[in-house]
A and B are shown apart, each in its own frame.
Chain A
Amino acid sequence: MSELVEVVVRGLGTGSVYALLALGFVVIYRATRVISFAQPAFMVAGAVAVSFLSDEIGYALAVPVAVLVGAALGLAVERTTIRPMIGKPVFVIAIITLGVDVVVRVFVNALIGTDVRQLGDPWGLETVSVLGIAVQQRFVASFVVTGLVVAALFAFLRWTRYGLAMRAVALDQEASMAQGVSVGKVFALSWALAGGLAAVAGAFVGTGSGIDQTTYIVAFAALPAIILGGIDSIVGAVVGGLGVGLVQSLVAAYQPDVAPWLGSNFQVVTPYLLMLAVLLARPYGLFGTPEVERV
């Protein structure tokens, strides 16, 4: 039983990272109808920023600054590469973001170097006692912080003018423009938000083991999360991210005993199989809106 609790907490912890990344994907998609493959690079950039800054100003201050760095990076990318491509086919822009990912990662990997870099987080591998069961602190911290960030995002979308503008642009770009919403600013804001969210994800992805040049692969598990949650749903992103993390953790813990023929590290593939299963039942994801196809 205690093992199950530990596994669930680990799943929620890693799921929070996926949820943050998925939120970034969804925010960009809602505004621009593009999937940005640059999120892994933003995540690692945020992690590197935290890793360098936490030596100077401590982890707690480094994370907000890293968020600003991530947001600035997202904004820069949007202005230079996405803005000229407004109106072009969505697939082309998605591939451009792939190119951006490659370029940003080269610079970020150069900063990481060949060794594993530590983030300087206060949790390390220590455990805390929850209901009498020892669970790792970093997972609890990750979950709590993600919850706060998601709540802040919901509040922003619900109660501020720019949140309203973003929701309007997500529904219909032309109508929003007609109503006086600056669609360009909303695009920029979406990318900046996505960069910031990815930076928070990066701040937690490296706790406990540090970051190295292969850390960016973790971010790809967020793609099935957005598909199964619904590509344009904020709630779906969070549910999808947490779900993927939870299922991954359960599979990692129990699959070697239950079904060893599936091979080792089967949990890497599980998010995609989960996504396929959900798509068979609900082709637009759990919370997604069905697309209207016109001739």
Chain B
Amino acid sequence: MTTMLPTKRETSDATVIAPTRRRSKPLRGRPGMFTTYAQELRLLNTRPKRIWVSFIVLGAVLLPFGVADDWLRLLAVGYVAAIGAIGLNLVTGYAGQVTLGHAFFLGVGAYTAAVISGDPDGRTLGLGITFLPVWLLAAGVVAGLCGLLVAPLAVRLRGLYLAIVTLGLVFLGEHIFKEWGAVTGGPGVGRSAAVPSLFGYELDQDGPFFTGMQQMYLLMLALLIIFAVLARNLMRSKVGRAFAAVRDRDIAAEIMGVGLTKHKALAFVVSSFYAGCAGALFYTVTGFFDPGSFNLLLSVQFIAMVLIGGVATISGSIMGALFIMLLPRFTQELPSLLPVVSSSPTDFPNVFQVESVLYGLLIIGFLIFEPRGLFGIWIRIRNYWKGWPFTY
């Protein structure tokens, strides 16, 4: 429903003042004042948001021309992790269903994609269809179906019970992946990952204009933007509000008419879809993966991304994912700054230990001191500058 506020400026511009559907423009000089609900719900509703987002996206798109390939690899993997983290945030942050089983869905997606695009003559199962949208969607759909199977459990269980049952899912998944050698190659052996090719053009090989890594980076960036906007749209809609109701007081939500079963199942399905797509893309960058990777540690990494980035925010998930994925690279630089930390794994303390400890300490630190995560830190900064110089 649109309304029109008949101020002087507006009436002087308009030829006809008719109370019909016309998207009202924001008032000039009063950018923060929303006059319609639609305005408030817009994805980028304030001008600073629009400017910042365009800066960031432009910067991300131009990055491949200024940065070396190994950083691009890291960032590409970070973007894919962000897709997975968004999925986990949907189910754990927005809908409040604690799940430790994300690694299972990542694995399902990764193997579906690998099987569909794998070499038919190789040692492991493969169908040879390397067209990217086909295996990506298939991975997401298959993982989503697995999520649908898990959903009835979620409806019946809550809180820590759900967490431990989904933990069991990870172990079950690990076992299946290890045993199903035809698909996964077997533990300690592994198989090659999905091959990204678009209309016959292989994206991970060096092309005429860009290197393989540049292409992969841009691909992952594009996919991240698509998935992030989709998720944000979903959460802006009534589904998102229903999720929030389920998270906050699920019995009251049910009484109000928010179907618990339907929305919990939807949360799991959407989150598994995202996890499946992320899993499929995760390993196309390195090209090879082992069934032992889909373990509790991977699930915990994603939980850390969500918690450190910011619960129930999409941009928080992206920040958290990039943070966690880039962390090992930064800790590797540590021995040059702190000679006490050696880079040889046999001394103590060494880089690998510092990385693990830092990881645990970050989880603890963020949860104790900044529960809203990196997004919360950003909000603090933003509020400081919004109120500047009246910062008290």
Direct A/B contact, Cβ within 8 angstroms: yes
Residues of A within 8 A of B (CB): 35, 81, 84-85, 88, 90-92, 94-96, 98-103, 105-107, 110, 114, 220, 223-224, 227, 231, 262-266, 268-269, 271-273, 275-276, 279, 283, 293-295
Which residue of A85, A227, A262, A273 has the most chain B CB atoms within 10 A of its CB atom? A227
The yes or no answer to B334 lying at the interface (CB within 8 A) is no
The yes or no answer to B288 lying at the interface (CB within 8 A) is no
B178 touches A100 (CB 8 A): no
- Assuming the contacts A98-B300, A231-B161, asked whether A223 and B167 have C-beta atoms less than 8 A apart, the reply is yes
B168 touches A84 (CB 8 A): no
Closest to A101 in B: B360
B163 touches A91 (CB 8 A): yes
User: Count of A-B contacts with CB under 8 A?
Assistant: 116
B303 touches A95 (CB 8 A): yes
Residues of B within 8 A of A279 (CB): 157, 161, 165
Closest to B249 in A: A295
Say how far B193's CB is from chain A's closest CB, in angstroms: 23
- Assuming the contacts A223-B164, A264-B179, asked whether A272 and B364 have C-beta atoms less than 8 A apart, the reply is no
Which residue of A105, A106, A275, A276 has the most chain B CB atoms within 10 A of its CB atom? A106
Stretch at the interface among B199-207, B278-286, B316-324, B351-359: B351-359
A94 touches B161 (CB 8 A): no
A95 touches B161 (CB 8 A): no
Say how far A93's CB is from chain B's closest CB, in angstroms: 8
A276 touches B164 (CB 8 A): no
How far, in angstroms, from A96 to B172 measured CA to CA in the complex?
A: 25
B363 touches A90 (CB 8 A): no
Residues of B within 8 A of A266 (CB): 175
Residues of A within 8 A of B159 (CB): 90-91
Closest to A262 in B: B179
How far, in angstroms, from A227 to B303 measured CA to CA in the complex?
A: 22
Residues of A within 8 A of B371 (CB): 88, 92
* Interface range on chain B (Cβ under 8 Å from partner): 35 or more
Say how far B364's CB is from chain A's closest CB, in angstroms: 4
How far, in angstroms, from A295 to B252 measured CA to CA in the complex?
A: 6
How far, in angstroms, from A25 to B177 measured CA to CA in the complex?
A: 29
Minimum-distance CB pairs A-B, first 5 = A272-B168, A102-B360, A263-B179, A99-B363, A103-B360
How far, in angstroms, from A227 to B160 measured CA to CA in the complex?
A: 9
Q: List 6 A-B contacts (CB under 8 A).
A: A92-B367, A224-B168, A227-B165, A269-B175, A275-B168, A279-B161
B361 touches A283 (CB 8 A): no
Given contacts A272-B167, A272-B169, A276-B168, 7 further A-B contacts (CB under 8 A): A90-B160, A98-B300, A99-B362, A220-B296, A227-B165, A263-B179, A272-B172
A contact face: mostly helix, strand, loop, or mixed: helix
B160 touches A35 (CB 8 A): yes
Residues of B within 8 A of A272 (CB): 165, 167-169, 171-172
- Assuming the contacts A96-B368, A224-B164, asked whether A283 and B363 have C-beta atoms less than 8 A apart, the reply is no
B361 touches A269 (CB 8 A): no
Say how far A52's CB is from chain B's closest CB, in angstroms: 15
A98 touches B363 (CB 8 A): yes
Closest to A283 in B: B156
B251 touches A100 (CB 8 A): no
Contact of A106 among B165, B304, B356 (CB under 8 A): B356
Residues of B within 8 A of A275 (CB): 164-165, 168
B353 touches A106 (CB 8 A): yes
Say how far A204's CB is from chain B's closest CB, in angstroms: 23
The yes or no answer to B381 lying at the interface (CB within 8 A) is no
How far, in angstroms, from A50 to B4 measured CA to CA in the complex?
A: 78
How far, in angstroms, from A276 to B357 measured CA to CA in the complex?
A: 34
How far, in angstroms, from A85 to B366 measured CA to CA in the complex?
A: 12
B367 touches A95 (CB 8 A): yes
Contact of A263 among B175, B249, B255 (CB under 8 A): B175
Residues of A within 8 A of B168 (CB): 224, 269, 271-273, 275-276
Closest to A271 in B: B168
A100 touches B364 (CB 8 A): yes
